[in-house]
């Protein structure tokens, strides 16, 4: 039977045998990209080394860079502020701090401090808390039932010697109608001073009066406050600076 016209027999002139290339040829083709890369590295060793160093440095920086820390806004003194200062917006600066570093009572809004008066000096950068302002915050940490008692001292200039935080004994000296002195009486011992009229201090709305000469505010227990109330009508009040009580012996 004659061969199919579209097919050629094997061995005939028109027959082509398609064989796969040898394995060595296939391997040589597969090695060409690696060979090209190796040749490029050989020609550009310095550039390749620099690229590797940059990649290593970027990886190290990424690993060592701490994660962003959540912060909140708090108010700090923009400059050194003396006790008795009436706070203005230029006296305070908002700063960002981690929430865990905020103590109880730290002010965070300028409106909460505007016009308030400092009961203690502030260093530049120090956070502002309610306990450092005239008002109920002055009794923060005091024993339950404590009261802030204003006293007018007989020796008004001597009040300049006292700063908030110091301890004083409050002494009453009375006289009869014949100017005969009676024994002085200690009305309160080692009471902490909260505020004084010295160094520009003003009573403002907290004390309800502008007549502040010789005024001193102390933190007193309920028993001490009962003795101090109206004491200035019984005689003259003086104070004695004292130190903190000695710690108990072990």
SS3 227: helix
Q: 50 phi and psi, to 5 degrees?
A: -65, -40
pLDDT in tens, the chain (250 residues): 455 554 545 455 554 555 555 555 455 555 566 666 566 656 666 666 677 777 767 666 556 556 557 888 999 999 998 877 788 889 999 999 888 888 888 999 888 888 888 877 889 999 999 888 877 677 777 778 888 899 999 998 899 888 888 899 999 987 655 555 667 889 999 999 988 877 545 444 444 445 677 888 899 998 999 999 888 788 899 999 998 876 655 5
Distance, CA of 172 to CA of 151 (rounded, Å): 11
Buried residues in 120-136 as b, exposed as e (16+ CB within 10 A): bbbeeeebbbbbbbbee
Distance, CA of 131 to CA of 108 (rounded, Å): 14
pTM: 0.54
Q: What would the two tokens of residue 47 be?
A: 């550039």
Q: What would the two tokens of residue 205 be?
A: 């709305």
How many CA within 13 A on the CB side of residue 194?
Answer: 26
**Under 8 Å between Cβ of 95 and 76:** yes
How many CA within 13 A on the CB side of residue 185?
Answer: 13
Distance, CA of 209 to CA of 202 (rounded, Å): 9
- Domain 72-132 architecture: Alpha-Beta Complex (3.90)
């Amino acid at each position: 039977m004659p061969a199919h016209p579209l097919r050629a027999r094997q061995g005939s002139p028109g027959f082509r045998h398609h064989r796969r290339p040898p394995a060595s040829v296939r391997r040589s083709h597969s090695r060409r990209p690696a060979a090209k890369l190796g040749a490029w590295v050989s020609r550009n060793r310095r550039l390749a080394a620099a690229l590797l160093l940059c990649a290593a440095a970027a990886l190290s920086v990424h690993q060592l860079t701490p994660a962003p820390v959540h912060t909140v806004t708090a108010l700090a003194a923009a400059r050194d502020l003396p006790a008795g200062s009436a706070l203005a917006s230029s006296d305070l600066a908002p700063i960002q701090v981690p929430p865990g570093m905020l103590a109880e009572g730290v002010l965070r809004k300028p409106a909460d401090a505007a016009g308030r008066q400092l009961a203690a000096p502030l260093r530049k950068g120090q956070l502002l808390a309610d306990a450092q302002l005239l008002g109920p915050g002055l009794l923060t940490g005091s024993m339950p039932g404590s009261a802030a008692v204003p006293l007018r001292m007989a020796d008004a200039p001597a009040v300049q010697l006292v700063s908030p935080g110091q301890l004083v004994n409050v002494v009453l000296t009375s006289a009869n109608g014949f100017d005969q002195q009676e024994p002085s009486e200690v009305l309160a011992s080692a009471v902490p001073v909260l505020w004084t009229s010295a160094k520009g201090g003003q009573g403002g709305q907290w004390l309800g009066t502008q007549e502040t000469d010789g005024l001193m505010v102390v933190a007193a227990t309920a028993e001490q406050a009962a003795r101090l109330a109206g004491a200035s009508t019984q005689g003259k009040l003086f104070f004695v600076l004292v130190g903190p009580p000695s710690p108990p012996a072990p």
